[in-house]
Structure 1
């Protein structure tokens, strides 16, 4: 029943910020907390990029705040490391590959509803899927919506991830799984409306290579890890609290073993309060 901003949109925002400081490649990005949208109104978003280190890399973090409450705390939803672009551009050869089997997609998105994931029309972009050679190949298309201003439209990239469950060797899940950790994300070309995608296992994650119908590389992800979504944090007091549990808290004698101990210590200031928006007057 919650509407979540997809992880691919968080990646898009961070990539866009990296473009401004010549570090467009996302070395890694972790979704700290899902970003839910309110039933009415919207959210303000900030992406903060730090100074470059000796290698040219920069830390980045993404925050959000309810649009109708300028005094609410800013909540961190993603943290990342940005780096300069890599020269290598991945490619795909013959399409579709030989010796693969096409998957019937009838009822695909209706089945996902039963697993707790409901996709709106813009996100139902999966058109064809093939499996074979321990890999998954797919064609995904963006419905009639604009792509101007995007590196890769988040709905298009999200659709490219939908057939991940067809890869062999996946961990069983009892609930919906969503993108959690990205490594090595690089956009090679913009403006794509149709992608040809190859998904393969990469350690504990999944590697993605996507090209346009002419074979031009569009986007690649070295590794993507999914995580089971158990509830939707991000709006409750527990997530917004300025306090965090620390451990160990003190010496506890054997006679105290029937007691549960915890201590609250101030969280890092940048966990909740990023720089103020430009031109905004804050208390």
Structure 2
């Protein structure tokens, strides 16, 4: 019997199959193979002869991708989500999510939530990310704005909703598919950050087809996922102009006759994206060994 791992807790894996949710243990052979089942894995299981809805994972199908944070496999698209206000946007984290998607060749869609709080600012962010080549959806779960557009991009896919805690990911999912009834938490007024209402990665089957991954809120990111020496290739709008630079190895920072900086001056590249590019370039440089 085949299925998809939707949750893993304490050595138990919960596999969604045509016959329902099956609680499974993984065979010892995976430990010898140094292979650990992950949420999102397509697996082959064997049902227990003695206990209903229990079984063992026999095989893990080849993965098309795997992420470290959030720990999930076989993602079709990343919905990089942030709130226009409350909490303040962490654009560097957002751009790390977009670069991870580009590096892994996974579709990335930007979801700007809580637009009812500041629609003007939301439109500015929308322009910046559409200029970068990303599909952008504006939403408000409280006002039920744009949620039908989000539903359309989720249908039939395995999608990860990722972003800082407190941006309204669980509320968006509940608005799109009320049957899920995910736990949501009010923002802490003291620190203006969410309370991490999601404690583990879990795939939820959507009633209209597909799965959504609700991930623990996080404000850090595993930069080691992005190993490319030239981060400009992970920013589509920067990569577009980099071949026109005077110097082949131009890093688009202080070099003369830089086509990227000229595009920035013209407004073809959003300043916020360029600032993220510079910060990410520095982080990658700091990871390189010193000789």
The TM-score, its normalising length taken from structure 2, stands at 0.26
Higher strand residue share: 1
Higher helix residue share: 2
The TM-score, its normalising length taken from structure 1, stands at 0.26
